[in-house]
């Protein structure tokens, strides 16, 4: 490797590291997460999944029933439901993926992240 | 040292076929390595070795011909013809940037050229991807690709250097 080669190497590596840091840390691109609430297969509401500690309570009232979810420090949990079996309330909190489903009330709470890839074909 | 200009048409065609076949084998070989394929579009770039040698053997037009034919055929063989747009545009930018390196900066050796070529290949890929999905956020993918491709560029550049030093020139004179 000549001197010019080493300079190119240094420029490319520093540029890429700086821009990776810039994109991920400062802009926070591609890490935006949303809590999507669906009832009866349609989108009911969409909230930003904030990392803040204070609890954000959302009540869902539809013709199928009543649900209450809490968003806190990057987690989502179903805290109350009008359904009989309460399996949605007993299900674990979700943070990065997965979903909470309340079948009797036809309510689905899932986490959607921006820029996520559904599938890749080569 | 553009040796190709001295050859007859028939020899030019046969050399193009030879280079395309070589590049095709390498690109199909590397698509079977999946350890780098954690991100789509991430490859070692073994076929770029052939592009670099084609550039110094037959000049930019020859290298672009070889590169485009290689991307077309490998995208047909792998079953995803849209890949041709990505790697075709990437190859175009790659060859042009490497040729500019040869012309204006003689201090850059083939390893440096390889790094620059790999970078511009990624630029082309990402631009096409951003246009194809009409999402400017695709460009945020470029730094990650550049980081990996710089190391891959050193690797392929070193192999190309070894091949050139081994005197491939004599071999082609047959």
B64: its two tokens: 């672009």
- Strongest mean pLDDT among A104-108, B4-8, B154-158: B154-158
pLDDT at position A105: 84
CB within 8 A of A45, min separation 6: which ones? A36, A37, A58, A60
| Interface size, chain A vs chain B, as Cβ–Cβ contacts under 8 Å | 65
Please report which residue ranges of chain B form alpha helices under DSSP H: 9-31, 47-78, 83-104, 110-132, 142-165, 168-172
CA-based nearest distance B10→chain A, Å: 35
pLDDT at position B157: 92
pLDDT at position B173: 46
Chain A hits for B107, Cβ within 8 Å: 2-4
pLDDT at position B34: 61
Q: Are strands A65-72 and A56-62 parallel, antiparallel or unpaired?
A: antiparallel
CA-based nearest distance A1→chain B, Å: 7
Under a CB-based contact definition with an 8 Å cutoff, are residues A53 and A72 in contact? yes
Rounded to the nearest integer, the mean pLDDT of chain A is 80
Q: What is the DSSP letter of A53?
A: S
pLDDT range class, residue A122, cuts 50, 70, 90: very low
Q: Which of A3, A4, A115 would you mutate first to test chain B, the one with the most B CBs within 10 A?
A: A4
Model pLDDT for residues B100-131, shown as the tens digit of each residue: 988 887 788 889 999 999 999 999 988 998 88
Chain A hits for B146, Cβ within 8 Å: 12, 15-16
Model pLDDT for residues A5-33, shown as the tens digit of each residue: 888 899 999 999 998 888 777 666 556 67
pLDDT range class, residue B66, cuts 50, 70, 90: very high
Task: Please tell me the pTM assigned to this model.
Answer: 0.69
Question: Mean pLDDT, to the nearest integer, of A101-111?
Answer: 86
Model pLDDT for residues B126-152, shown as the tens digit of each residue: 899 888 877 777 787 888 889 989 999
B52 at A interface, C-beta within 8 A: no
CA-based nearest distance A22→chain B, Å: 10
B17 at A interface, C-beta within 8 A: no
pLDDT range class, residue B93, cuts 50, 70, 90: very high
CA atoms within a 13 Å half-sphere pointing along the CA-CB vector of A83: 21
* Whether residue A37 has pLDDT greater than 50: yes
Chain B hits for A13, Cβ within 8 Å: 147, 150
Beta carbons of A19 and B154 less than 8 Å apart? no
Query: Which residue do the tokens 């053997």 mark?
Result: B57
Report, in angstroms and rounded to the nearest whole number, the Rg of chain B calculated over CA atoms: 16
Give CA–CA dist B6/B3, Å, rounded: 6
């Amino acid at each position: 490797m000549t001197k010019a080669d080493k300079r190119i190497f240094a420029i490319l590596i520093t540029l890429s590291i700086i821009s990776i840091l810039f994109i991920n840390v400062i802009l926070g691109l591609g890490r935006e997460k949303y809590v999507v609430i669906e009832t009866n297969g349609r989108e009911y509401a969409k909230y930003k999944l904030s990392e803040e500690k204070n609890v954000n309570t959302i009540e869902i009232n539809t013709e199928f029933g009543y649900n209450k979810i809490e968003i806190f420090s990057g987690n989502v949990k179903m805290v109350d439901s009008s359904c009989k079996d309460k399996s949605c309330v007993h299900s674990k909190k979700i943070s990065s993926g997965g979903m909470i489903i309340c079948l009797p009330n036809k309510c689905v709470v899932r986490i959607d992240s921006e820029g996520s890839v559904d599938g890749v074909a080569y | 040292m553009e040796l190709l200009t001295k050859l007859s048409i028939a020899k030019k065609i046969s050399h193009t076929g030879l280079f395309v076949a070589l590049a095709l084998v390498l690109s199909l070989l590397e698509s079977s390595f999946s350890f780098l394929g954690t991100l789509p579009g991430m490859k070692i770039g073994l076929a770029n070795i052939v592009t670099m040698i084609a550039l110094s053997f037959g000049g930019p037009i020859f290298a672009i011909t070889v590169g485009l034919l290689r991307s077309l055929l490998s995208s047909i063989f792998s079953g995803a013809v849209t890949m041709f747009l990505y790697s075709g545009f990437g190859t175009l930018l790659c060859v042009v940037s490497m040729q500019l390196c040869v012309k204006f900066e003689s201090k850059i050796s083939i390893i440096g050229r390889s790094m620059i070529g790999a970078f511009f290949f990624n630029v082309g890929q990402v631009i096409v991807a951003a246009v194809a999905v009409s999402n400017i956020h695709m460009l945020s993918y470029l730094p990650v690709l550049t980081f990996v491709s710089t190391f891959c560029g050193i690797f392929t550049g070193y192999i190309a250097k070894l091949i050139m030093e081994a005197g491939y020139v004599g071999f082609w004179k047959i």
